[in-house]
Amino acid sequence: MDSDEASELERARKGDRDAFGLLVRRHQRRVYSAALHILGNHSDADDVTQETFVRAYKGLANFDGRADLFTWLYRITVNTALNALRSDKRGAALEKKSGTEAEHIGGRPESLGQITATPAQVAQQSADVARVLTAISQLSATLRVTLVLATVEDLPHKQIAEILEIPEGTVAWRVNEARRLLRQKLAGEPAVEAKQPAASGGK
Amino acid sequence: MSDDLDDMIRHAMKTLDDEAPSGYFEGLPNVTLARLEDGTRMDSTGTHDTAPTPLVAPHMLMSDTNEKNREEDSGLHDIRNLAAASKSRISARRSTQSPVVTEDDVLASSSAGWKGIALPEPAKMISLPELASLPSAVAIEKADKASRAEAKAAAKAAKRESSAVIATATDSAVSAPMIGSRVAAKQSSGKGGLYAGVGVLLAAAAGVGIYMYTQKGGTAPAAAVQQVAKVETTPAPVLKEVKAPIVAPIVEEPKVEAPAVVAPVDEKVDEKKAVAPAKAEKVHKVEIRDTIHTDEVKPAAKVEKKDEPKEKGDGSEPSFDALLKEGGISDTKQAAKPTLEKKSLTTGDFKTGMAAVSGRAQGCYAGTQGTANVKLTIASDGSVSKASVTGPFAGTPVAACVEGAVKAAKFPAWDGGPQSFSYAYLLAE
């Protein structure tokens, strides 16, 4: 945490919303990207990003500063996104919903399950990207989040374990399981999610 | 292979990143601060409780360099807002349609439900008499004692009266109504019939004794017959029995009455015949008169019995049992008498029963782990009358397996209606 960020944080804690605005501007891209990678569409990612910053502002008093501010924001983002996934069961319904939603919003490719888009839009993406996005959207919420954090965000397992509040071993298992399932899906094989280790738990 | 896969994932995500609306990040801080200002809240699902912050906001704050792009997209933003608003409404509706229900809530509601079913209608309609209108226990006891004392006094008086009639026949005309009133007083008591019976026996014994005495002495005055005849018209059965032997010495009347009633009386007087065979004819006469009295007494006794409930009903203080009967309580209690001490299934009983089949239920795991939520209804005999699995496993073979397992569960029987519960099994290897 650099001195500018520390100063902004201190001022934001005292109720300076301009200072908090600066903090938002500083971290918004990474927060939004994480939300987008987990949720797969801009609309939900936008909701989660805004909610993350609102929650952060309300919880600034609880942030003791021992951890990195972004790690703290990241944890809020992941939890908010997981809640959104679980409540909406977007993972299961994404394919059905996304095509219709894409049509409503003008056919813009915004969702992971974009395979039902128009041929022109599909042409803009490579076939591999569409297949990968679809396969990821079919993973369970926990596997998807863990895979995104490990592969896309490139976070070390230890940090992922802190964010998700699970053992590191569980992180490794989830990453491997997600990769195994993705390979099966991409190969066109029926993929069945394996049982999670008993010691895992967490989010 | 792993690296290839990771590369593919990163590439796909990069494609997603590139599709972020242009100018979005310029407006995001302002939108967030506006939300803080407005106090707009979002629920735990990440969707808005109230009208969502328009997604158009960041785009309206775009830089001028994207003017052309904004014009192209401006028509789409309204549609996008509509879609976002619809989604928010659906999410909000969904979150309000599935409130969190705890186990205690389920038990409480099911308990209330079965209570509503189990209460018999007659029990609801019982209207007990006002407590103030009922006599107190002390008053009832006093009244009971008073009536007993009165009955005893009446019995004694009856004895005295009977002996007085025998001793002084001239006074009987005066004493007869008194006797009648005493008898009536006796009838007013609860045990009047019993005392009357005892009195009859005593009087009969005394009469026999007097008869024996008069037969020997033969000094009964003729006027006594008329007095006794008058007494016979009174409704007091005891005294009639007492007077019967007194009339025995009269010789004229048996000639008229004898043929009709002698035969049946003979059997009854066998013992007397055995005692005094030489005086059989006279005994016959006596018994004829006696039989006449008996015939007269019998209907009177019947009337007396019939009058008992009337007198009770006309009494100033109705008994508590009668009031309860009027209220239908005694019958209702007998009908709704519980056969089991257990009135409902406790949480402990339920958990014990479910734990007994947990192994079988968890054996339904078929490769897909998850939670099978079971809603079940347990009949009062302790058997599972209905079980259904909800949630992700609903309608699958796994659900059927779990339902079969749960239906095998047994619980202690209780006295009441069926109860419904929810239970969750974690299906895993």
Strand order in the sheet with B384-390: B384-390, B370-378, B419-427
Query: A44 and B9 in contact by Cβ < 8 A?
Result: no
Q: Which of A27, A31, A54, A153 to mutate to test the interface with B (most CBs of B within 10 A)?
A: A54
User: pLDDT of chain B along its 429 residues, tens only?
Assistant: 556 788 888 888 888 887 777 778 888 888 888 888 776 444 433 333 333 333 333 333 333 334 334 444 444 555 666 666 666 566 555 544 444 444 444 444 444 434 334 444 444 445 555 565 566 667 777 777 887 888 888 777 766 765 554 444 444 444 444 444 444 444 444 455 677 788 888 888 888 888 877 765 544 444 444 444 444 444 444 444 444 444 444 434 444 443 333 333 444 434 444 444 444 444 444 444 444 444 444 444 444 444 444 444 444 555 666 666 666 655 544 545 556 777 788 888 888 888 888 888 888 888 877 888 888 888 888 889 889 888 788 888 888 888 888 888 888 888 888 888 888 887 877
Tokens of B244: 């019967």
Query: B12 and A136 in contact by Cβ < 8 A?
Result: yes
Closest approach of chain B CAs to the CA of A104, in angstroms? 7
- Contact by Cβ (8 Å): B45, A84: yes
Tokens of B189: 């008591």
Q: Name residue, tokens 């990003």.
A: A49
Output DSSP code: residue B394.
T
Closest approach of chain A CAs to the CA of B429, in angstroms? 7
CA atoms of A133 and A81, how far apart (whole Å): 17
* B residues 31..50 contacting A (CB < 8 A): 31-33, 35-37, 41-42, 44-48
| Helical segments of B52-136, H only | 56-60, 67-97, 103-118, 121-125
Output DSSP code: residue A194.
P
How confident is the model at residue B144, as a pLDDT? Answer: 78
A53 vs B265: which has the higher pLDDT: A53
- Contact by Cβ (8 Å): B43, B49: yes
**Mean pLDDT (whole number) for A184-189:** 83
Q: B28 to chain A: which residues are within 8 Å by CB?
A: 24-25, 28, 32, 49-50
| Helical segments of B249-319, H only | 254-268, 270-275, 280-314
Q: What is the largest CA-CA distance in chain B?
A: 154
pTM beyond cutoff 0.95: no
Q: A33 to chain B: which residues are within 8 Å by CB?
A: 17
Whether A11 has a pLDDT exceeding 60, the answer reads yes
- Which is it for strands B370-378 and B419-427: parallel, antiparallel or unpaired? antiparallel
CA atoms of B419 and B345, how far apart (whole Å): 8
At residue B54, the 3 state secondary structure works out as coil
Q: Following CA atoms B323, B327, B331, B334 in sequence, which dihedral angle do they give, to the nearest 10 degrees?
A: -90
Closest approach of chain A CAs to the CA of B82, in angstroms? 9
Q: Which of A39, A51, A177 to mutate to test the interface with B (most CBs of B within 10 A)?
A: A51
How confident is the model at residue B270, as a pLDDT? Answer: 42
- Contact by Cβ (8 Å): A13, A60: yes
Q: What is the largest CA-CA distance in chain A?
A: 56
B336 φ, ψ (degrees, to nearest 5): -95, 20
- Contact by Cβ (8 Å): B51, B85: yes
Secondary structure percentages of chain B, helix, strand, coil, to 5? 70, 5, 25
How confident is the model at residue B164, as a pLDDT? Answer: 52
At residue B425, the 3 state secondary structure works out as strand
B390 φ, ψ (degrees, to nearest 5): -115, 170
DSSP assignment of chain A = --HHHHHHHHHHHTT-HHHHHHHHHHHHHHHHHHHHHHH-SHHHHHHHHHHHHHHHHHTGGG--SSS-HHHHHHHHHHHHHHHHHHHHTHHHHHHHHHHHHHHHTTS---SS-GGGS-HHHHHHS-HHHHHHHHHHHTS-HHHHHHHIIIIIS---HHHHHHHHTS-HHHHHHHHHHHHHHHHHHHTT----PPPPPTT----
The answer to whether residue B367 neighbours chain A at the CB level (below 8 Å) is yes
Give CA A183 to chain center in angstroms. Answer: 21
Q: B69 to chain A: which residues are within 8 Å by CB?
A: none
List of residues 6+ apart from B199 with CB closer than 8 A: B155, B158, B159, B238
Give CA B265 to chain center in angstroms. Answer: 55
CA B311, B312, B316: angle at the middle one, nearest 5?
A: 95
How confident is the model at residue B167, as a pLDDT? Answer: 47
CA atoms of B163 and B395, how far apart (whole Å): 97
How confident is the model at residue A48, as a pLDDT? Answer: 92
Q: B6 to chain A: which residues are within 8 Å by CB?
A: 151
Bridge partners for B373 per DSSP: B390, B424
Q: Which of B2, B9, B100 to mutate to test the interface with A (most CBs of A within 10 A)?
A: B9
Residue A149: closest C-alpha in chain B: B10
Output DSSP code: residue A151.
I
Residue A124: how many CA atoms within 13 Å on its side-chain side? Answer: 13
A37 vs B167: which has the higher pLDDT: A37
CA atoms of A72 and A74, how far apart (whole Å): 5
B192 φ, ψ (degrees, to nearest 5): -60, -40
Helical axes B347-356 vs B103-118, angle rounded to 10°? 110
CA atoms of B152 and B160, how far apart (whole Å): 12
On the 0-12 / 13-18 / 19+ scale of CB atoms within 10 A, A201 is exposed
**Mean pLDDT (whole number) for A119-142:** 75
Query: B29 and A87 in contact by Cβ < 8 A?
Result: no
Per-residue pLDDT of A68-108, as tens digits, reads 888 888 889 999 998 888 776 544 444 443 433 333 333 33
How confident is the model at residue A147, as a pLDDT? Answer: 92
How many Cβ atoms are within 10 Å of B68's Cβ, its own excluded?
A: 9
Closest approach of chain B CAs to the CA of A158, in angstroms? 19
The answer to whether residue B99 neighbours chain A at the CB level (below 8 Å) is no
Tokens of B129: 């008499």
Complex ipTM, two decimals?
0.73
Closest approach of chain B CAs to the CA of A139, in angstroms? 13
Query: B45 and A110 in contact by Cβ < 8 A?
Result: no
List of residues 6+ apart from B95 with CB closer than 8 A: A87, B43, B44, B45, B47
At residue B165, the 3 state secondary structure works out as helix
Amino acid, single-letter form, for residue A116: T
Q: A196 to chain B: which residues are within 8 Å by CB?
A: 369, 428
How confident is the model at residue B66, as a pLDDT? Answer: 41
